[in-house]
Structure 1
Amino acid sequence: MSIYLRNDIWWIEFTSPDGTRIRRSAATEDRQQALELEAKLKHDLWRVYHLGEKPRMLWKKAVVRFMREKQNKDSSNEISIFKYLDPYFGHLYVDEIRRMHIDDIIQQRLKEGVTNATVNRLLQKLRAVLNKAHKEWEVKCDPPYIKLLKEPKKRVRWLAEPEALRLINALPSHIADMATLALETGLRESNVTLLRWEQVDFSQRIIYIEGDDILKSEQAFVVPLSDAAVDVIKRQVGNHPIRVFTYKGNPIKRANTKVFKNACAELGIENFRWHDFRHTWATWHVQRGTPLEVLQELGGWSDYKMVKRYAHFTHQHLQQYVNRSPSDVPTIFPTKVNFG
């Protein structure tokens, strides 16, 4: 018998035509339904082996393969998303995922009080896995259309240079060094905290950033280092064989800590998050005249729209249109006409 009971749930176990051992829950207490599912699985695997049809892939296996291929160095948020999705998809094949399943997840997350942005991060991760299965892995998968929820216009919170200097001076040295590097390079928190020595090239004065977060950009890019950035990194030499930033000999995982938040509060710097160092860096660049297309490359943005939100901080290109001599000012109103 290739089906059996476990805790009142029927399980299926058999050998596929290619010799692979198949073992999975039928997710039902009904024996007849379990038998029908077993027959369908055997039928599908026979067609894959003998007729060359695309094989099926369980969601669980898709997640494992996705994480293995992506090799995200900071996967804690990714893992939490997949754990949340497991009760919904853990028993399904990727080709069984329908729009109604996604709608249920959206409604549940909103009931839990999370923001649209948080829901969208989950949807983007789900979409990424399904697209991989469909386009790259050649398994049976026809992803449903996944539309993201509307999000409020993204804020741009930044500090003036005197404010930033006060904050740096108020932070403990290990956090101050990371904040300084963020202000000098525009790197995101995880790119700073998880920075490895193998990514640093002092001879060329660059940091090599791998494609880090599918929610941002998967493309690798090179970050040139200023004198201040080089000094910060050189201060860390000898502290750890692999990671650049440490605290008491241990690699640092987070920078946006309670210590950082308390320092902001004590200085009266309100509504400022660690990621706002990146906004500050970009704003300073634009104010100093860095072209937006150059800023896009420096910051590793794949979408030009992400850079255009800083455009209003520049004014140099408008200066030529003010304080012109009277002879240069065109006539705005036509000569008065006498209609008699």
Structure 2
Amino acid sequence: MAGSIKKQPNGKYLLTAYCGYDAKGKQVRIRKTIEAKSDREAQKKLALFVAEVENGGIAQTANMTLAEFADYWLEKHAKMHLADRTLERQLGILKTRILPTLGHLKIDKIKPSHVLHLKQQLIDCERLDRKAGKLSLRSVEMNLGLLRSMLNKAVKWKLISTNPCQDVDIPKPKHRKIPIYDEQQLAIFLRLLDSEPTKYKLMAMLALTTGLRRSEMFGLEWQHINFNKRTCSIEQSSLYIVGKGLITKEPKTELSARLVAAPTITMELFKQHYEDQRIEQDKLQDMWCGSNRVFTTWDGRPMHPDTFNTWLKKFIKKHNLPHISPHSFRHMSATFALQQGIYLKSVSSRLGHAKTSTTADIYAHALQSVDREIADKMDSFLDSINGNQILN
């Protein structure tokens, strides 16, 4: 690979590496401006620069557009460090909003004004899911946050000197409330649930009584269930990824791999479901696929996690109940536990949160209820031992 040097009027040197020709027959040139004490030193730096370009070093990305850098970021970082579901979501964000607006710009030419333009466009644009209204502030935050994160990598890799996103405020959405049932609504739900097939009763009760994530529930296999000790061992998750289908992966975080105790009612449903599954297996014999999953299709293959959503939506509509999602059961499990006075640390560990602060942030409403109950109990305690003499 050839290279050349041109001394600039300001005393610096412009290095050029020639990298063949593109599809249109135009010579590809990678340039870099350096400082050197002499022509000889500049020649040495040119040799190093050409070698770096020739060996596929980062210097080759110096003239990239944001769209080209996105591919580079994908190969050098995202595929190696992001979970499949996170990667799928971020690629969707890139292709839908960010790249159509800024993808044509060279990464070293992106200015705060360009990011501000994207921000305003996100705030003003319509939703793509055909629902009424504008894009949510959460979606705006995710778009701008992803762009900032990507360009932080570009700074770290010395492709650009500063991140233009740093000077643009990212809107902070209000915490999204997950709908849950109160005790009376839950009692009605459970009464109606009793007439459902065992596998659906188990789905709902398992989520409610253990707080497992949906992906954790559908990753369960029978060897993970200990009937004697009444525990579920969370060792894997089952997810659906567009283009890949159902995949099995490690739990979300290190603390997500855990042993969760289940109440007697849930374990009894496990036993009933196990017997039902064995009966189906005997009927199908060689047609049974034998995945050993707790939740399976009619022929024993791992069940799609969206089955929970589909069943719950039909069940709620059939009985005219308030809307909830599968994730609502996890929130109800934590909320009711905290309201019963269970320690925050215990609830956090049961949910598999990496930090207790995460649990505290999400369930602040439940903690406030517990805090009021503590104050009321303190009133009763002081009244019992002091008879309100302080106020008399």
| TM-score tier (shorter) | 0.5 to 0.7
TM-score w.r.t. structure 1 length? 0.67
Match of 1:63 in 2: 74
CA distance in 2, matches of 1:290, 1:94: 51
* Distance in 1 (alpha carbons) for counterparts of 2:297 and 2:324: 23
1:80 to 60, 72, 92: 92
**Corresponding residue SS for 1:158:** coil
Corresponding position of 1:183: 208
Q: Which of 245, 262, 283 lines up with 1:227 in the alignment?
A: 262
Shift of the 101–24 alpha-carbon distance from structure 1 to 2, 3 Å rule, reads: farther
SS in 1 for 2:234: strand
User: Are the equivalent residues in 1 in contact too, given 2:213–2:327 (CA < 8 A)?
Assistant: yes
Name the amino acid aligned to 2:325.
Answer: R
Which whole-Å CA distance do the structure 2 matches of 1:256 and 1:325 have between them?
Answer: 50
- Equivalent residue, structure 2, for 1:121: 142
Amino acid at match of 1:49: F
The match for 2:391 among 312, 324, 332 is 332
Q: Runs of 5+ in structure 2 lacking a partner?
A: 1-15, 34-44, 127-133, 240-250, 279-287
- Answer 1 or 2: which has greater helix percent: 2
Q: CA deviation at 1:172?
A: 5.3
Q: 1:64 to 1:153 in 2, by over 3 A?
A: same
- Structure 1 pair 65/225, CA: closer, same or farther in 2 (3 Å)? same
Of 252, 261, 281, the match for 2:304: 252
CA distance in 2, matches of 1:275, 1:176: 16
* 1:139-158 alignment runs, 5 A limit: 139-141=158-160, 142-143=162-163, 144-145=165-166, 147-158=169-180
On the 8 A contact 1:200/1:207 being kept in 2, the answer is yes
Q: Distance in 2 between matches of 1:21 and 1:201?
A: 61
TM-score, scaled relative to structure 2: 0.60
Question: Where do 1:30-69 residues align within 5 Å?
Answer: 39=29, 41-43=30-32, 49=49, 55=59, 56=61, 58-69=69-80
Q: In the comparison of the two structures, how many residue pairs are matched?
A: 299
Q: Give SS of 2:391's match.
A: coil
Q: Aligned letter for 2:145?
A: Q
1:283 Cα offset (Å): 0.9
SS in 2 for 1:225: strand
Query: Is contact 1:191–1:209 with CA below 8 Å preserved after alignment?
Result: yes
Change (3 A) 1:170 1:125: farther
Contact map agreement 1:182 1:188 (CA 8 A) in 2: yes
Assess if the C-alpha contact under 8 Å between 2:180 and 2:329 holds in 1. Answer: yes
> Percent identity, aligned pairs only?
18
- When the two chains are superposed, the root-mean-square deviation of aligned CA atoms in Å is 4.4
Note closer, same or farther for the CA distance 1:151–1:71 as it changes in structure 2 (3 Å cut).
closer
* 1:258-287 deviations in Å (ceiling 9; x for gaps): 432231133332132222112101112112
| C-alpha separation in 2, matches of 1:253 and 1:46 | 56
8 A contact 1:239–1:246 mirrored in 2: no
Name the counterpart of 1:4. none
Per-residue deviation at 1:183?
1.6
* Matched letter for residue 220 of structure 1: E
Instruction: After TM superposition, give the deviation of residue 321 of structure 1 in Å.
Output: 1.9
Once residues 244 and 22 of structure 1 are traced to their aligned partners in structure 2, the CA distance between those partners, rounded to angstroms, is: 57
Shift of the 258–312 alpha-carbon distance from structure 1 to 2, 3 Å rule, reads: same
Deviation, 1:89, is 4.4
Q: Closer, same or farther in 2 for the Cα pair 1:152/1:76, shift >3 Å?
A: same
Q: 1:317 aligns with which of 374, 377, 380?
A: 374
Give the AA of the match of 2:343: P
Matched, 1:308 2:364: yes
Distance 2:369 2:47 in 1: 61
Q: Which amino acid aligns with 1:140?
A: L
Superimposed CA distance per residue, residues 131-156 of structure 1 (whole angstroms, 9 cap, x where no aligned partner): 45545xx3424332264323234325
Going from structure 1 to structure 2, the CA distance change for 1:198 and 1:325 (only over 3 Å counts) comes to closer
Is contact 1:185-1:223 (8 Å) kept? no
Secondary structure of 2:32's counterpart equals: helix
- Note the C-alpha offset of 1:242: 8.0
Most deviating of 55-64 and 223-232: 223-232
In the alignment, what sits opposite 1:5? Answer: none
Distance 1:177 1:54, change over 3 A: same
Q: 1:174 to 1:307 in 2, by over 3 A?
A: same
C-alpha distance in structure 2 between counterparts of 1:243 and 1:125, whole Å? 36
Task: Please say if residues 169 and 176 of structure 1, whose CA atoms lie closer than 8 Å, have aligned partners that are also in contact.
Answer: yes
Aligned AA (1:313):
S
Whose radius of gyration is greater, 1 or 2? 2
